[in-house]
Amino acid sequence: MSHPTLPRTTPTRPEAPATPPPTGSAAALPSPSTLPAPDPLAIWPASTAALPDGDITVGGVPLTELADHFGTPAYVLDEDEVRRRCRAYLRAFPGADVYYAAKAFLCRAMAHWVAQEGLGLDVCSAGELELAVTTGFPPERIVLHGNAKSPADLQAALRLGVGRIVIDSTSEIARLAAAVPAGTRQKVLVRVVPGIAAGGHAKIRTGTDDQKFGLSLADGSAQHAIARVLGQPRLELVGLHCHLGSQITAAKPYLAAVRRLVGLLARVREQHGVTLPELDLGGGHGVAYRPGEPALDLTGLAAKVRAELARGCAAAGLPVPRLAVEPGRAIAGPAGVAVYRVLSVKRTGAHTFVAVDGGMSDNPRPALYGVRYAPRLVGRRPEAAPEPVTVVGRHCEAGDILASDVPLPGDIRPGDLLAVPVAGAYHLSMASGYNLVGRPPVVAVASGHARLLVRRESLADIQERDIGL
């Protein structure tokens, strides 16, 4: 199926107002009132530009034209932004393995872009694995995760020849070893829980002992698992793995993890005479969802982690292991924009509710984690000042709220378009079939052209699966 090419536009992106250089000691720390307001487009893809008529272009394509052609709700993915972020990771971590975390968002095009840019892939199921490999992704550059891998997951990984499997529990060790074909060895990592609390919400903190992932360093479970893996001739233990959580915006937790894992590497050598050559620090790198919010400094993180790793290994007399990181949100999130159509505006007492044609079925994150976004009116210039409103979805849940207490023009009305930036990660990958509304399409934009990557889920698609009566 072919799709028409949408026209290229060449607007200029407005810059944030410049701040004059301070003069004298009193001007060294300007007061908040003198600081420039955050650039409202700073969290959008780098290709984003505002047009005089109120429209926004991403990848050189106006969002209004995308909405007219592909319908709403729709997800727009900036290919160049994805590629730019992949390259930034490779520059920040030279000589390391960078695995894109497919759980953030995966489709055939995404797998293709990531492979072309030289990244590996971190998958959590046979479904993600099969999609990637059948797209042409090299299986030796794939890592399989999961706290409860099914027999089908492990069989697919061994059949397709994934590069690494992360051991997450002691029960998995014998089960995996028994499935490895005779005469071969499967490379594995042991996922260690370092006892570090980090992440933007309690539900996405995975480095502590009170959650389901990994093997504890504190109670000796990790050490016991390592000994058991080393006793399996069909498993080749190549390193340690940890993942602290998600939406982490400071380097400090990663540095603490490095110190604890280097200590474990030293104990493994002392107790077993084995020097493990790899250390995977996982991902969880935080991004800004609203202008002015903090984001993890990638360059600073890389420099600090590498320095800490070098210091720790030198003190322990260990060779520096090959480092690996697993960014997902930090690559896909800021590259995506969700576009909705306003269906109704309801003023009830002191509250104004703006209802759109999507909701928690295509973005459950506000309901799950209380995530806050910065939606923007696109397609026309407002005639009224901003007012606080709550953007809600179309579903039969009081918790179906996409953005609470956000400023939108007071003349917002049905038929308007709202665009939500930083929508590329954990939206469609967590989408549901609630109310049978169908999942939105994914449209790629680049250099003034748009193409459909994932088509809209139709009622016919839903009915085709429902075969009983």
- Residue boundaries of the structural domains of the chain: 39-77+334-458, 79-333
| Res 233 pLDDT > 80 | yes
The band of 117, judged by pLDDT with boundaries at 50, 70 and 90, is very high
Q: Which of 385, 390, 400 is nearest to 353 (CA)?
A: 390
Mean pLDDT of 15-25: 36
At 132-180, the pLDDT tens digits run 999 999 999 999 999 889 999 999 999 999 999 999 999 999 999 999 9
DSSP E strands, 281-383: 322-325, 336-348, 351-356, 376-378
How does DSSP classify residue 463? H
| Res 202 pLDDT > 80 | no
Predicted confidence at residue 147, as pLDDT, reads 87
396 is catalytic: yes
| Res 257 pLDDT > 80 | yes
- Helix residue ranges, H only, 163-297: 170-179, 221-230, 252-272
Q: What is the CA radius of gyration of the chain?
A: 24
* Same fold yes or no, 39-77+334-458 and 79-333: no
The band of 12, judged by pLDDT with boundaries at 50, 70 and 90, is very low
The band of 370, judged by pLDDT with boundaries at 50, 70 and 90, is confident
What is the H or E stretch that residue 241 is in? strand 235-241
CATH number of 79-333: 3.20.20.10
Predicted confidence at residue 390, as pLDDT, reads 97
By residue count, the chain amounts to: 469
Dig out the tokens for 464 from the structure.
């085709």
Q: Are 223 and 267 in contact (CB under 8 A)?
A: yes
Dig out the tokens for 285 from the structure.
């790198």
How does DSSP classify residue 301? H
CA dihedral sign, ordered 404, 409, 413, 416: negative
- Helix residue ranges, H only, 353-403: 365-369
Q: Model-level pTM?
A: 0.90
Mean pLDDT of 316-329: 98
Q: Are 229 and 223 in contact (CB under 8 A)?
A: no
Q: Are 73 and 452 in contact (CB under 8 A)?
A: no
Predicted confidence at residue 3, as pLDDT, reads 41
pLDDT over 70 for what percent of the chain? Answer: 89
Angstrom CA distances, 221 to 197, 264, 377, 450, stand at: 18, 12, 52, 50
| Res 57 pLDDT > 80 | yes
Candidates 86, 107, 242, 396; catalytic one: 396
Q: Are 242 and 325 in contact (CB under 8 A)?
A: no
Q: Are 45 and 287 in contact (CB under 8 A)?
A: no
Least confident piece of the model among 5-19, 26-40, 220-234, 267-281: 5-19
Mean pLDDT of 254-269: 96
Predicted confidence at residue 139, as pLDDT, reads 98
| Residue 233 CB coordination number (10 Å) | 9
Predicted confidence at residue 361, as pLDDT, reads 96
Predicted confidence at residue 7, as pLDDT, reads 40
| Res 32 pLDDT > 80 | no
| Dist CA 301 CA 64 (whole Å) | 38
Mean pLDDT of 201-205: 45
Predicted confidence at residue 188, as pLDDT, reads 98
The topology under which CATH files domain 39-77+334-458 is Lyase, Ornithine Decarboxylase; Chain A, domain 1 (2.40.37)
| Res 198 pLDDT > 80 | no
Higher pLDDT, 422 or 214: 422
In order, the DSSP letters of 136-202 are T--GGGEEE--SS--HHHHHHHHHHT-SEEEE-SHHHHHHHHHHSPTT--EEEEEEEE-----SSSG
| Dist CA 398 CA 451 (whole Å) | 35
